[in-house]
Amino acid sequence: MKLFKVPEPTIMRLSLYSRVLEQMEERGIPVISSVELGDAVGINSGVVRKDLSMFGEFGVRGVGYNVRELRDNIRRLLGQDRTWPIVVIGAGQLGSALAAYPGFRQRGFDITALVDVDAAKIGTDVQGIPVLSWDEATNMIQEKEIKMAILAVPAEDVQATAQKLVDLGIEAILNFSPVILKLASVQVQNVDLTVFF
């Protein structure tokens, strides 16, 4: 167990392990070896062991890892053992799809509301998630102390919208608009959906 500094690639992989363990847990499999876990995510078993060993000794030699225990530990490490409220800005096609994406809830993100400027959308809902005006959203963000936002607005509105969010106390922004967003003092993750091909 080192814990001096955890490599970023390791953190990304923890996310993958978490998903596999979830499935194993559902299927009632009690124990998994590093080889099996590695195969499931498509990497070498040594990587799995090294990754896990950075946080503690979760395994049993000669046996493997207890699925539920390991899952719980990884969840805790990733901050997935609690629920994080988030807002989605932009109730267009992409924003609505992201709000409905089941993965967020599965990982402990609670999409509290969508926000839009279009009066025709305000007051409606997307699979039970309400679409709010900025006035309503401002109250909610401050009341519920929401710190994270997903941005899915037209390219030309991104920078101004992001600044508004920062002023409201948002600390992490996941930007899906096809524009590189830059902000000081806030954690910004730009996601270019086309970059993966």
Partner DNA sequence: CGCTGTGAAGCCTTTCACAGCT
Partner DNA sequence: AGCTGTGAAAGGCTTCACAGCG
Collect all residues with Cβ–Cβ distance below 8 Å to 143 and sequence separation of at least 6: none
Q: Which of 58, 84, 101, 134 binds DNA (CB under 7 A)?
A: 58
Contact 82, 106 (CB under 8 A): no
Q: What are residue 168's phi and psi, to 5 degrees?
A: -85, 0
Collect all residues with Cβ–Cβ distance below 8 Å to 172 and sequence separation of at least 6: 147, 148, 149, 186, 187, 188, 189
Window contacting a second copy (CB under 8 A); options: 45-53, 96-104, 133-141, 157-165? 96-104
Q: How many CA atoms lie within 13 A of 34 on its CB side?
A: 16
Binding to DNA by CB under 7 A, coded x per residue (else -) over 83-102, reads --------------------
| Binder of residue 164, out of a second copy, DNA, none (CB less than 5 to 8 A by kind) | none
Binding to a second copy by CB under 8 A, coded x per residue (else -) over 128-167, reads --------------------x------x------------
162 is in an annotated binding site: no
Range list of H helices, the chain? 8-26, 34-41, 45-53, 67-77, 93-100, 102-106, 134-143, 158-167
Q: How many CA atoms lie within 13 A of 144 on its CB side?
A: 19
Q: Under the rule (CB under 7 A), what is the footprint of DNA?
A: 1, 5, 7-10, 33-35, 43-47, 49-50, 52-53, 57-65
Which residues belong to the annotated binding site for NAD(+)?
90-95
Q: Under the rule (CB under 8 A), what is the footprint of a second copy?
A: 12, 15-16, 19-20, 40-42, 84, 93-94, 96-98, 100-104, 106-107, 109, 148, 155, 172, 174, 178-180, 182, 189, 191-197
